[in-house]
Structure 1
Amino acid sequence: MTKVDLKKSISAYTAPRGAFEIMDVPPMRYVMIDGHGDPNTSEEYGSAVGAVFTVAYKLKFLSKVELGQDYVVMPLEGLWWSEDMTTFTTARDKSRWSWTMMSLVPEWIEMSHFERAREAAAAKAASPALEQLRMAELSEGTCVQTLHVGSYDDEAPVLDEMHRRFIPDAGLRMRGLHHEIYLADPRRTSAERLRTILRQPVEPA
């Protein structure tokens, strides 16, 4: 059985380092959960991420056993927003962030598969986070993105340049939510070697 790695087949999962690119991102479906607060200190955040991957791995197992299609579980991703977007850049304040944490699922995974995987996870461990999970489509369209290598706290100047220089200079304006794709596991990777795709949906100014 061939194991599919969607990171290698979907162009939106690659980005240039040290430069910004404009690209069209196709609609994709994710296991998602919403929350608010500093990801470094919030118990809610840890529970949310745990729930996402618990169900993501149960979906992988279901797909392999019942559908005959194996795949690599996709990395953690996050949509981030705040009433004041400078809390991500010049006035950085993680306590004011809201987020949706998520992981991409293959197109052959159906809602019934997701519901069964979530029920199986809940049967083993009761968790409010599992009850809050959903599977939904995200349609971002035209986006600007770049690959950031380094700690998450070093993203601020990159985002500031993207928001205040590159996007306006390209005749665009921001819309939608700031999107991050975590290509490296911070539990196993030193901060200076973390790889994160930073993405911002845009539209003509």
Structure 2
Amino acid sequence: MTTVTRYDVKRELKRFYAPRNTGWELVEVPPQQFLAVDGHGDPNTSADYARAVEALYSVAYTIKFTSKRELDRDFVVGPLEGLWWSDRPEVFVARQKDAWSWRMLISQPDWITADLIDAARAAALAKKKLPTIEDVRHETLHEGTCAQVLHVGPYDDEGPVLAELHDTYLAANGLRMAGHHHEIYLGDHRRTEPAKWRTVLRQPVRPAD
């Protein structure tokens, strides 16, 4: 009997989902497709954020089960990811979360089509009755050259790491920011003490003018 290995983005794109470097390094990130939903505000207190994450996972698992049943192709639902931005980049270093805008993401295998996502969204909405599911959409992202680091510890300890990027690393390497700050949340923070949380921090960059 042949055992079919489930697709797992953390294994297939290991350099981008399981880095080991704890200092900033440059990587070339390939194009990917995602489920996405947008919002604004403090993720710790915003009801919109909680609803967005619940909606993303509802659609993601519907896609997984549909793919396995109808296409005979199974995969591990990817980790939660987020793009974060503000008119004032310093709010990230200062952790002024009320000023943050966000786009939460879950990566999708390349065989998942936009039509399949639309059908899964409709099925999840009919089952879960969560209005935010209607806001989940298909998103493609090609970040290209990025500075990337693995941060170990609480999210609020990211400030000095980001300050190093903004104040030192970019200038030292002749770079400028060229896209939204990207985070990938590895593991289950509900079952892990904050000191052991692992987060991939990524920033698209381009040569400075």
Q: Which TM-score band (shorter chain)? A: over 0.9
1: CA distance between counterparts of 2:207 and 2:177?
9
2:179 corresponds in structure 1 to 176
1:186 corresponds in structure 2 to 189
The farther-off stretch of 9-18 and 176-185 is: 9-18
1:38 to 20, 38, 42: 42
Q: CA deviation at 1:6?
A: 1.5
Q: CA deviation at 1:87?
A: 0.5
For structure 1, list consecutive stretches of 5 or more residues without a partner in the other structure: none
1: CA distance between counterparts of 2:21 and 2:193?
18
Amino acid at match of 2:35: V
1:6 corresponds in structure 2 to 9
Q: CA deviation at 1:9?
A: 1.2
The normalised TM-score by structure 1 is 0.97
Aligned length: 204
2: CA distance between counterparts of 1:9 and 1:122?
30
The normalised TM-score by structure 2 is 0.95
Contact 2:86/2:101, CA 8 A, preserved across alignment: yes
2:168 to 165, 170, 190: 165
1: CA distance between counterparts of 2:27 and 2:6?
27
Tell me the C-alpha RMSD between the 2 structures. 0.9
Pair 1:27 & 2:31 matched: yes
List aligned pairs for 1:18-97, cutoff 5 A.
18-89=22-93, 91-97=94-100
Q: CA deviation at 1:3?
A: 1.1
Q: CA deviation at 1:97?
A: 0.4
- Residue 187 of structure 1 aligns to a residue whose secondary structure is helix
Runs of 4+ residues over 4 Å off in structure 1: none
Q: CA deviation at 1:56?
A: 0.5
2: CA distance between counterparts of 1:21 and 1:2?
31
Q: CA deviation at 1:92?
A: 2.4
Q: CA deviation at 1:53?
A: 0.5
1:197 corresponds in structure 2 to 200
2: CA distance between counterparts of 1:14 and 1:172?
24
Amino acid at match of 1:92: R
2: CA distance between counterparts of 1:122 and 1:38?
25
